Amino acid sequence: MSRQTANAGTRRRRTGSAELFASILNSFPRRRDAGSRASAGGESVPWHRRPLFRKLLFAFISLILAMLLWGYVLMSQNPSRTRTINNITPTFESGAEADLILKKLTVYGDIAEVLKSVDVTVSAPLRDISKITPKNITATISLSDVHSAGTYRAEVKAVSTVGRVVSVDPAYIDLQIDELMSGDFPVTYEFVGELPEGYWHDTPQLLNTTVNLEGAKSDLMNASNAVCYIDLNNLTESINRSIQLEVLDNEGNVIDGSVFKNIIPAANVQMTVLPHKHVPIIYEIVDKEQLPDVFEIQSESLTVTSLDIAAEPDVLETVESIGAEPVSIAGVTETGSHSFTLTLKGIPEGAYVLGGVNIDNIQLTLVTGERIVSQTFENLPIMFVGEHEYYTYTYGFKNVDVTVTGPARLMQSFVSSNLTVIVNVEGRPSGAYELELEYTLSDVETFGELEIELAEESVGVIIAIAEQNQ
């Protein structure tokens, strides 16, 4: 009796479900046509012959019901799932690096390259799996087992605030531990490029001439110096600024600053930059009238003829030359070379004299010698010697101009009578001749260094037999 009752209840539940499903179907409009019923007898149409719309409708309803059922199962059971988060960068455990420093040790190499990223797989309930992000995961490395320099294989440990960590890949990272050292290295500078044309810079002043570096022994043993690169391109004003230093190795290559444990400081650089130009040195010689009359200045020369001046633009525009105090030659009484130190004036305050010139030792050299004088004696008579009474002589001219040049001390006492111009016709038969003009001095020892120049080199002479001798 109970079994029949139970079966009846089961049939009622199934009948109820069928009635519910039928009510859902009946809520949709139904087509009544030749395809909906087989015949007047009322037999059902087979499934494969029913309209496509009804087939799709049944399929859609089945899919929705299946998804609802599966979602219900998942939400009620909440199974575990795994998710892998890539590119998690590990770090050292808190205080690990400080402990290494106390042990005078350090991790060798660029930390960013040493601590390569890892992939962390986390298991969590289905409801929480979407909450797992890189922010929830922390990967750390312990250095507690490091006590001396060497190579160590350190385990990467990861934790997640959502779920639990299943695996880390790679699980270990190799570390090179080196001794920690510090030392002072010289700071130098190098120029990059060139100043624009017409500009000058002085020697840069570095306020810090050394830099302290701390890092692995291998890196410090390879370091040579720190360099400050000063860019001169398009620089037209003085500078007073900080410029970042770069550390060079023994071969002149730049060492990545990240390998050092302390921050590499910048260098404070001061350097004057000014326009410049060349200007002549102007001087004046005075008291020339006190130079002995027979002397003269034969040459003048300066050790420096111009100065390269650098100054502020508005000041430099006003400078066209550099003057000097007058140079007196009142004390010069002999011939020879005489040196005088110029006292310059007119150099603007604050200007720079370039080229390493010592403006307090610019020398003027004067060379004095005997004054050379020239005098022309006009129409000096020519002495014709060697004439014979048997002949008559006809000359092209009988007077000639003579120019005498020599030291003033000799020319002061030289007169025309000290010079005789001669033409020698002795022993020549009748005929026409072009005879050379010669001269003699009355005192060769005294006037022998004088230079004699005759206006004519020769004279035409015609020699004929005298009429009484024909």
User: Which residue spans within 342-450 are E strands per DSSP?
Assistant: 344-345, 352-353, 363-370, 372-385, 391-395, 399-407, 419-424, 431-436, 438-441
Q: The domain that contains 310 carries what CATH number?
A: 2.170.120.40
Nearest CA-CA partner of 241 in 267, 202, 265, 272: 267
Select the more confidently predicted residue: 218 or 21: 218
Last residue of a domain, one of 370, 392, 412: 370
Select the more confidently predicted residue: 404 or 127: 404
Q: The domain that contains 86 carries what CATH number?
A: 2.170.120.30
The reply to whether 297 and 354 lie within a common domain is yes
294 token code pair: 């027979």
Last residue of a domain, one of 326, 349, 370: 370
Residue 119's pLDDT is: 94
Which helix H or strand E contains 140, and what residues bound it?
A: strand 137-141
Select the more confidently predicted residue: 449 or 58: 449
Instruction: Return the DSSP state at 281.
Output: B
Residue 73's pLDDT is: 62
For 81-128, write each residue's pLDDT tens digit: 889 999 999 999 888 888 888 889 998 888 888 888 999 999 988 778
* Long-range contacts at 339-347 (CB < 8 A, ≥ 24 apart): 339/363, 339/364, 339/365, 339/366, 340/364, 340/365, 340/366, 342/281, 342/283, 342/302, 344/281, 346/319, 346/321, 346/322, 347/307, 347/309, 347/322
Q: Which structural domain, as residue segments, surrounds residue 22?
A: 1-30
The reply to whether 366 and 376 lie within a common domain is no
Q: Which residues contact 57 (CB under 8 A, 6 or more apart)?
A: 28
The reply to whether 254 and 308 lie within a common domain is no
35 token code pair: 């395809």
> Are the CB atoms for 354 and 309 separated by under 8 Å?
yes
Integer Cα distance of 405 and 437 in angstroms: 18
Q: Is the dihedral of CA 346, 348, 352, 358 positive or negative?
A: positive
Residue 20's pLDDT is: 44
The reply to whether 224 and 203 lie within a common domain is yes
> Are the CB atoms for 279 and 321 separated by under 8 Å?
yes
The tally of domains found in the chain comes to: 6
Confidence bin at 463 (pLDDT 50/70/90):
very high
Residue with tokens 């909450």: 131
For 11-63, write each residue's pLDDT tens digit: 443 444 445 444 544 544 444 444 444 444 445 666 666 677 777 777 788 88
- Say if residue 399's pLDDT is above 90: yes
For 276-293, write each residue's pLDDT tens digit: 999 999 999 999 888 888
- Say if residue 264's pLDDT is above 60: yes
Select the more confidently predicted residue: 3 or 118: 118
Round the CA-based radius of gyration of the chain to a whole number and report it.
60
Q: Which residues contact 279 (CB under 8 A, 6 or more apart)?
A: 306, 307, 309, 319, 320, 321, 322
Integer Cα distance of 234 and 193 in angstroms: 9
pTM for the structure as a whole: 0.60
Provide mean pLDDT across the span 210-222: 90
Provide mean pLDDT across the span 148-172: 91
Provide mean pLDDT across the span 180-204: 94
Helix (H, G, I), strand (E, B) or coil at 55: helix
Mean pLDDT, the chain, integer: 86
Provide mean pLDDT across the span 232-238: 95
The reply to whether 355 and 430 lie within a common domain is no
